[in-house]
Amino acid sequence: MGLIEQLPPHIVNKIAAGEVIERPASVVKELMENSVDAGSTRIDVTVEQGGSQLIRVVDTGRGITPEDFALAVTSHATSKIRSDDDLFSVGTLGFRGEALASIASVSRMRLKSRTPDSELGHELEVTGGQSGDLTPCGCPLGTIIEVHDLLYNTPVRRKFLRTTQTEMGHITEAFTRIALAYPKIHFTLTHNTRSVADYPPVESWRERIAAIIDPAIADSLIDVESVEDDIRLFGYVAHPSHSRGNNRLQYLLLNGRFIRDRSLQHALSEAYRGLLLTGRFPISFLQLEMPPSLVDVNVHPTKMEVRFREAGQIYRQLLGTLRTRFLTTDLTARMQPVDEKSPESAHDADRTAALRQEVVNWATAELATQTEGRPAPSSGEGGGFAGTPASGYATGPHEPLRLNRLDPSWTSAATMSPPHATAEVTDPTVAGEHAASNPSVETAGTRLIGMQVLDRYLISETEDGLVVIDQHALHERVLYEQIREKVLAGTMETQSLLVPEPVDLSAAETAAVLDAKELLSKLAIEVDSFGGNTILVSSYPAMLSNWSPAELLRNLADQLLSGGKAPDARDLLDELLHMFSCKAAIKAGDRLTHDEITALLEQREYVQDSHHCPHGRPTSLVFSRDDLDKQFKRT
């Protein structure tokens, strides 16, 4: 007798559910897609407890006829394809006919629906895959699907659900992806009676992007379009002055469906090469439209990945379209000076000019060569540079550092110079506080000569020889240690806002920020939910006062979202400290007064590892006397 038996349908469905229904967000995605396929003009999504208690999707679509109710929740039953040929020309979001059956097998589901040709609606309850009786009921036009107690009958899987906030983050992301793709449909999202999102119908995609993502980004978008053979690429990419620390703002829609495609992400970063700093990701909202026969969407249960028939051609089309577009766009026109409020705005103008020149050079080179590798920047390790010696500095008591440019006491020598500071020698030929200056100061027995060169390096003499110090890297290190100590001691200086400031974020960003509320309060950042995707900032660290609360929150959200699945609170805190210190530190290109140079060099003595910035780059290079002698052929 044979041992193989056909599995009963309820087990088949449970197995399918394992693939299709990973978490509550998957249910939201499937139900919303069905509502879109049904031609709805409005889709309202309500969830309770991160979706584990309830997910309800109400739509205004064409509804389900009483005859179709039972089939709708039967697996491999669909109204969307009829033959295997249709499988290669799918024009709807769904077609596998297994979503409702899968969801129904692992939840208590209630379906209510009415079609336009009927006065009366119908209602059906399915519990763990077992259908009850179809009963008539009053019902608005369209369909209401409620999913209660998701995974209640698969306790092991239910245990894998994460915190409400985390699940809500996934739900908002799934919701956003669909809302972004269909600007003409009105979408709302409500969590535990709190309205999280409300996107009324709009005419243009750009308006929907503004509503969901950020009006400033929407304003800066550069439109792109190209048609090659049967493939149309269109949409927007952000100006390089807007970028993110992760690739979450790279939206790619294929025939109205959100997809992730490694190769096309690569084409995108390739197009931005040289325009963004390493570690920054472009922002894009792109759509591909092609005959469904040119793409197989049936390679992934949630249809997130697809297989293109002409993958190479699409790659080249995307890259080529963007490059051509960048070359014909004055990308530099919007490059803002880094800090307009800084007294050095003339100096910032120089930097803007330099940036502009850099972009022009880049574009010319790209156009001329279209080659791959760019010349690697020289490492700076010229012959004769000795490695930095192991830190021999004792960790002294930390002086409060007052190097922050924004600190009004910054230029006040009285607060900065230690009592043992001695004569300063300034260059008498140049007047003005930003002249190159040569203060010398005796610190802890070491003679320090501080001099700034090229607006970015400080040169100093120590017992070891001649030291060249990267001013930004050193300041960043100094600030990092200082802030870390304050955070651990709970003494961060905060700046309370008289009127708390509301900041609009994307749904996923909002969830991430609220999730990290406790951690943020350690950093003197107080945030609260203000309903929807608005967060109220009531205080933030004084040292970051050159960031607006919106900039601060956006950068934070970036950092939080790129933190991966289970960001360890400690690592996250450390990352934020890095970000803060990098942001607050003086930059390469900032011309320093001699007081500033002196103060910075002195702080060098007090930091635990003054030889490396928090990113691990060296902060200083030492030329020992032997090295110098060798270079000058004295030995």
Q: Which of 52, 78, 317, 471 binds ligand ADP (CB under 6 A)?
A: 78
- Give the C-alpha separation, 195 to 342, whole Å: 40
Angle between helices 471-489 and 569-584 (to 10 degrees): 130
Q: For residue 64, state whether it binds ligand ADP (rule: CB under 6 A).
A: yes
Q: Which of 24, 50, 94, 282 binds ligand ADP (CB under 6 A)?
A: 94
**Nearest distance from residue 73's CB to ligand ADP, in Å?**
7
**Nearest distance from residue 294's CB to ligand ADP, in Å?**
21
Q: What does 183 bind: Mg ion, ligand ADP, none (CB cut-off 5 to 8 Å by kind)?
A: none
Cβ nearer to Mg ion, comparing 27 with 492: 27
**Nearest distance from residue 514's CB to ligand ADP, in Å?**
30
**Nearest distance from residue 54's CB to ligand ADP, in Å?**
17
- Give the C-alpha separation, 549 to 566, whole Å: 26
Only one of the segments 95-103, 224-232, 426-434, 615-623 lies at the binding site for ligand ADP (rule: CB under 6 A); that segment is: 95-103
Q: What does 35 bind: ligand ADP, Mg ion, none (CB cut-off 5 to 8 Å by kind)?
A: ligand ADP
Instruction: Pick out residues in 106-165 that bind ligand ADP (CB under 6 A).
Output: 143
- Of 612, 631, 635, 615, nearest in space to 382 by CA: 631
Q: What does 331 bind: ligand ADP, Mg ion, none (CB cut-off 5 to 8 Å by kind)?
A: none
Instruction: Pick out residues in 1-30 that bind ligand ADP (CB under 6 A).
Output: 30
Q: Which of 16, 24, 26, 34 binds Mg ion (CB under 5 A)?
A: 34
Q: What does 64 bind: ligand ADP, Mg ion, none (CB cut-off 5 to 8 Å by kind)?
A: ligand ADP
**Nearest distance from residue 259's CB to Mg ion, in Å?**
16
**DSSP-H helix ranges across 439-490:** 471-489
Q: For residue 59, state whether it binds ligand ADP (rule: CB under 6 A).
A: yes
What burial class does residue 370 get, using C-beta atoms within 10 Å of its C-beta: 0-12 exposed, 13-18 middle, 19+ buried? Answer: exposed
Cβ nearer to ligand ADP, comparing 130 with 495: 130
Helix (H, G, I), strand (E, B) or coil at 183: coil
Q: For residue 593, state whether it binds ligand ADP (rule: CB under 6 A).
A: no
One-letter amino acid of 579: M
**Nearest distance from residue 13's CB to Mg ion, in Å?**
14
Only one of the segments 77-85, 406-414, 475-483, 618-626 lies at the binding site for ligand ADP (rule: CB under 6 A); that segment is: 77-85
Only one of the segments 89-97, 182-190, 338-346, 358-366 lies at the binding site for ligand ADP (rule: CB under 6 A); that segment is: 89-97
Q: What does 620 bind: Mg ion, ligand ADP, none (CB cut-off 5 to 8 Å by kind)?
A: none
What is the 8-class DSSP label of residue 107? S
Q: Is-contact 594 424, C-beta < 8 A?
A: yes
For residues 589-602, one letter each, b for 16 or more C-beta atoms within 10 angstroms of the residue's C-beta and e for the rest, the string is bbbbbbbbbbbbbb
Query: What is the chain's percent helix, strand, coil content, to nearest 5?
Result: 35, 25, 40
- Give the C-alpha separation, 210 to 223, whole Å: 14
Only one of the segments 10-18, 28-36, 366-374, 382-390 lies at the binding site for Mg ion (rule: CB under 5 A); that segment is: 28-36
Number of residues forming the site for Mg ion (CB under 5 A):
3
- Give the C-alpha separation, 425 to 469, whole Å: 20
Q: What does 592 bind: ligand ADP, Mg ion, none (CB cut-off 5 to 8 Å by kind)?
A: none
Q: What does 245 bind: Mg ion, ligand ADP, none (CB cut-off 5 to 8 Å by kind)?
A: none
What is the 8-class DSSP label of residue 623? E
Q: How many CA atoms lie within 13 A of 570 on its CB side?
A: 0
**Nearest distance from residue 73's CB to Mg ion, in Å?**
11
Q: Is-contact 349 257, C-beta < 8 A?
A: no
Cβ nearer to ligand ADP, comparing 26 with 510: 26
Phi and psi (nearest 5°) for 461?
-105, 130
Token output for 360: 């022009």
Q: How many residues does the chain have?
A: 635
Instruction: Pick out residues in 85-114 that bind Mg ion (CB under 5 A).
Output: 94, 99
The separation between CA 384 and the C-alpha centre of its own chain, rounded to angstroms, equals: 42
The separation between CA 123 and the C-alpha centre of its own chain, rounded to angstroms, equals: 42
- Of 152, 161, 282, nearest in space to 220 by CA: 282
Residues 6+ apart with CB under 8 A from 330: none
Q: Return the ∠ at Cα 233 (arms to 231 and 235), rounded to 5°.
A: 160
Q: Is-contact 36 152, C-beta < 8 A?
A: no
In SS3 terms, 296-313 reads as ECCCCCCCCCCEECCHHH
Number of residues forming the site for ligand ADP (CB under 6 A):
22
Q: For residue 58, state whether it binds ligand ADP (rule: CB under 6 A).
A: no
For residues 511-534, one letter each, b for 16 or more C-beta atoms within 10 angstroms of the residue's C-beta and e for the rest, the string is bbbbbbeebbeebbbbbebbebbe
Q: Which of 20, 25, 45, 100 binds ligand ADP (CB under 6 A)?
A: 100
- Give the C-alpha separation, 523 to 547, whole Å: 15
Cβ nearer to ligand ADP, comparing 38 with 585: 38
Q: Which residue is nearest to Mg ion (CB)?
A: 94
Q: What does 543 bind: Mg ion, ligand ADP, none (CB cut-off 5 to 8 Å by kind)?
A: none
Token output for 16: 């399918």
Q: Which of 49, 65, 79, 446 binds ligand ADP (CB under 6 A)?
A: 79
Cβ nearer to Mg ion, comparing 78 with 559: 78
Cβ nearer to Mg ion, comparing 129 with 235: 129
Q: Which of 16, 55, 90, 99 binds ligand ADP (CB under 6 A)?
A: 99
Interacting residues with ligand ADP (CB under 6 A): 30, 34-35, 38, 59, 61-64, 72, 78-80, 94-101, 143
Interacting residues with Mg ion (CB under 5 A): 34, 94, 99
